[in-house]
Amino acid sequence: MRNPCNTGLLSKSFRTPKRLPHKILERETVDEMIYNTTRQRDRLILELQARCGLRIGELLKIKVADVSDRTITLREPKSGKEAERAYMPENVSRKFAEFIKEKTLQPDDRLFPICYSTARSLVKKLGAKLNVHVSPHDLRRYSATYASRNGVPLEVVSKVILRHQDMKTTQVYLGKITDSEAIRWMDILHGK
């Protein structure tokens, strides 16, 4: 039996809208956002998203006991697993340890006891200071794209930074490659 909804007129009327590519933030913009932030808490939130690829929801659930040297155990991650591990660069790990010590937080204390909407508006306000429209997820997307453009293998970007189950999901995060970038990589791979 033929589907009566598969007619030319209906398919034109109800087309699936084309997805616009996400604008990937520039490194200078992200660094400026981070370094212009005066509160240590806000700076850590930005750095954990932009440098470690954390989702804002995961970040807000972190407790002191979940932090161990350069790793963070994420409880109840989006993947549905019981826990996942996220990794931090040494400088972020050091700032994190200083923050915990300075605030004299206990093992069961949440590191960032704010709600999702507060964190989202914080990121938006910090971006607005630079005349940039930015959401928390843009920082996660930046983290993946920055790593990918600096030679980190796609498998590492997917499984370690973004913690995706499928690499197809990761490819959606990465921005389009410009012609000049494609030429630069060809020169790196095969010499000039």
Domains of the chain with CATH codes: 25-190 (1.10.443.10)
Are residues 92 and 52 in contact, defined by beta-carbon separation less than 8 angstroms?
yes
The whole-angstrom separation of Cα 24 and Cα 142 is: 6
pLDDT at 131 over 90: yes
Evaluate if residue 2 carries a pLDDT over 80.
no
Q: Provide the pLDDT confidence category of residue 9 given band limits of 50, 70 and 90.
A: low
Share the mean pLDDT of the chain.
86
pLDDT grade for 17, boundaries at 50, 70 and 90: low
* Confidence band for 14, pLDDT divided at 50, 70 and 90: low
End-to-end CA distance of the chain: 60
Contact (Cβ atoms closer than 8 angstroms) between residue 100 and residue 148: no
pTM for this entry: 0.80
Q: What is the mean pLDDT of residues 93-121?
A: 93
Do residues 126 and 46 make contact, with C-beta atoms less than 8 angstroms apart?
yes
Number of H helices, E strands in the chain: 10, 3
Top pLDDT among 66 and 181 is at 66
Flag whether pLDDT at 98 surpasses 90.
yes
pLDDT at residue 189 greater than cutoff 80: no
C-alpha closest to that of 30 among 176, 134, 122: 134
Beta bridge mates, 110: 63
Q: pLDDT at position 186, please?
A: 80
CA distance 114 to 191: 50
Judge whether residue 35 has pLDDT over 80: yes
